[in-house]
C-alpha cells in the first residue's frame, strides 16, 4: 500500500511497563483520514443497569494490551504489514446525560466513517453500539450482526427508558440498521423476566444460539454456518465480554454463569475471516471488578483478534 504503515512499539525499544498506554502501543492519531483501522475508546457506563465502572474499560484494555505483539502465531495474520492502524483515542462524552452521550458518539463515528476508516471500539457499556450502528448505516446501509453476549439486549424499555445497555438491538432493528435475516446472537443464557425473552429475537428472524448449545464443543462448525448466513454483505461484530463465563472474565457489570470459554470466543472471531467485517467492538469491561486485570487482558486480545480478521489483512505462511 502507498501510505506508510505503523507498527506497535516493541518491548526491546521501550519496556512494556513504560511509555504511554495506547492500544498495543500504536501511535495516537487524532485525524482518521488515511487510516484503514482505528481503535477507539468509548468510556461510557451511564447506560448500565447493575454494576457501573465500564467508563474505565478503554483505559484498562489499553494498559493490558502492552503484552500484545504484531504477529498472530496461531492464524499467521500480520495486520500491521498491510493495514495502517492507529489509536484514535476516546470519544468525549457527557457524564451527566446518556442521551447526549449517544449523540456525541454518533457524531464522532460519523466523522470517522466519512474518511473510510474502520473502527474497533473499546467499551464502555453496550449502549455505545447503537450510535455506532446509526453512523455506520449512513455509509454501509443495514448490516448483518454477529453478537456475542449473555443477554439479547432487546428490551423495549429499562425503567421506562428507551435507550440503555439492554435495549440497543431492539432500537437498531426498529430503525432499520440491521438486516434481520443476517443477525446471529451467540452465548445467550441466564434467567429472564419472561419465559419468552429470547423469542422476540427469533420472531424477527435473528438466529439465537444459547450458551447451552455451545457447551463442551468447538464452535468452528457453527461459524461455518454463520459465514454462509452472512454471505457477501457487510457485517458488524459486537462482543460483550460477559458472553464469556465469569470464570474467565469476572470484571463486568452483569455476569452470568455457564458462559463461553475464551477458546470459544477466539473460534467465533477467527471464524469471521472472509466476511466483510466493516467494524467491531468489545464492550462491558468493568475494571473495578477486575482486580488482576484478567478481563481487560482478554478484551485486549479479542480486539487484536478482530483486527486480524478484517479484509485486507496479510497472512504470513
Q: What is the pLDDT of residues 176-204, one digit of tens each?
A: 999 999 999 999 999 998 888 899 999 99
Q: Domain range spanning residue 145?
A: 42-309
* Residue 242 labeled ligand binder: yes
pLDDT score at 228: 98
* Residue 149 labeled ligand binder: yes
pLDDT score at 148: 98
* Residue 197 labeled ligand binder: no
Find the farthest-apart pair of alpha carbons in the chain and give their distance in angstroms, rounded: 56
* Residue 126 labeled ligand binder: yes
Which grid cell is 170?
431492539
- Residue 23: inside a domain, yes or no? no
What residues contact 79, with CB distance under 8 A and at least 6 apart? Answer: 37, 70, 72, 85, 307, 308, 310, 313, 314
* Residue 36 labeled ligand binder: no
pLDDT score at 1: 40
- Residue 166: inside a domain, yes or no? yes
- Residue 13: inside a domain, yes or no? no
Domain with residue 294: its CATH number is: 3.40.800.10
- Residue 28: inside a domain, yes or no? no
Average pLDDT per run of 10 along the chain, which is 317 residues long?
Answer: 81 91 96 98 96 97 97 98 98 97 98 98 98 98 98 94 96 98 98 91 98 98 98 98 98 98 98 98 98 97 98 94
* Residue 199 labeled ligand binder: no
pTM (2 d.p.):
0.97
What is the dihedral angle through the alpha carbons of 62, 68, 70, 76, rounded to the nearest 10 degrees? -130
Looking at the structure of the chain, the number of domains it has is 1
274, 292 contact by CB (below 8 A):
no
- Residue 54: inside a domain, yes or no? yes
- Residue 89: inside a domain, yes or no? yes
Amino acid at each position: 500500500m502507498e501510505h506508510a504503515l505503523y507498527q506497535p512499539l516493541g518491548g526491546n525499544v521501550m519496556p512494556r511497563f513504560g511509555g504511554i498506554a495506547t492500544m498495543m502501543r500504536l501511535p495516537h492519531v487524532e485525524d482518521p483520514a488515511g487510516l484503514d483501522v482505528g481503535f477507539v475508546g468509548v468510556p461510557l457506563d451511564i447506560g448500565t443497569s447493575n454494576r457501573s465502572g465500564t467508563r474505565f474499560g478503554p483505559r484498562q484494555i489499553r494498559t493490558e494490551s502492552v503484552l500484545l505483539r504484531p504477529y498472530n502465531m496461531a492464524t499467521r495474520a500480520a495486520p500491521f504489514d498491510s493495514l495502517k492502524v492507529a489509536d484514535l483515542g476516546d470519544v468525549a462524552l457527557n457524564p451527566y446525560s446518556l442521551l447526549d452521550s449517544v449523540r456525541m458518539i454518533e457524531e464522532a463515528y460519523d466523522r470517522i466513517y466519512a474518511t473510510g476508516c474502520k473502527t474497533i471500539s473499546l467499551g464502555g457499556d453496550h449502549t455505545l453500539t447503537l450510535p455506532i450502528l446509526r453512523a455506520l448505516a449512513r455509509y454501509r446501509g443495514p448490516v448483518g450482526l454477529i453478537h456475542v453476549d449473555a443477554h439479547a439486549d432487546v428490551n423495549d424499555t429499562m425503567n421506562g427508558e428507551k435507550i440503555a445497555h439492554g435495549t440497543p438491538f431492539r432500537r437498531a432493528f426498529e430503525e432499520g440498521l440491521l438486516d434481520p435475516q443476517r443477525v446471529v446472537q451467540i452465548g445467550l443464557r441466564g434467567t429472564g423476566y419472561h419465559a419468552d425473552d429470547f423469542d422476540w429475537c427469533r420472531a424477527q428472524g435473528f438466529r439465537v444460539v444459547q450458551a447451552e448449545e455451545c457447551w463442551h464443543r468447538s464452535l468452528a462448525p457453527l461459524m461455518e454456518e454463520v459465514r454462509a448466513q452472512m454471505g457477501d454483505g457487510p457485517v458488524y461484530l459486537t462482543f460483550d465480554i460477559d458472553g464469556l463465563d465469569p470464570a474467565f472474565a469476572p470484571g463486568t457489570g452483569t455476569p452470568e454463569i455457564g458462559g463461553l470459554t475464551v477458546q470459544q470466543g477466539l473460534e467465533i472471531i477467527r471464524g469471521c475471516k472472509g466476511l466483510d467485517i466493516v467494524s467491531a467492538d468489545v464492550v462491558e469491561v468493568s475494571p473495578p471488578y477486575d482486580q488482576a486485570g484478567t478481563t481487560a487482558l482478554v478484551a485486549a486480545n479479542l480486539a487484536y483478534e478482530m483486527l486480524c480478521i478484517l479484509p485486507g489483512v496479510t497472512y504470513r505462511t
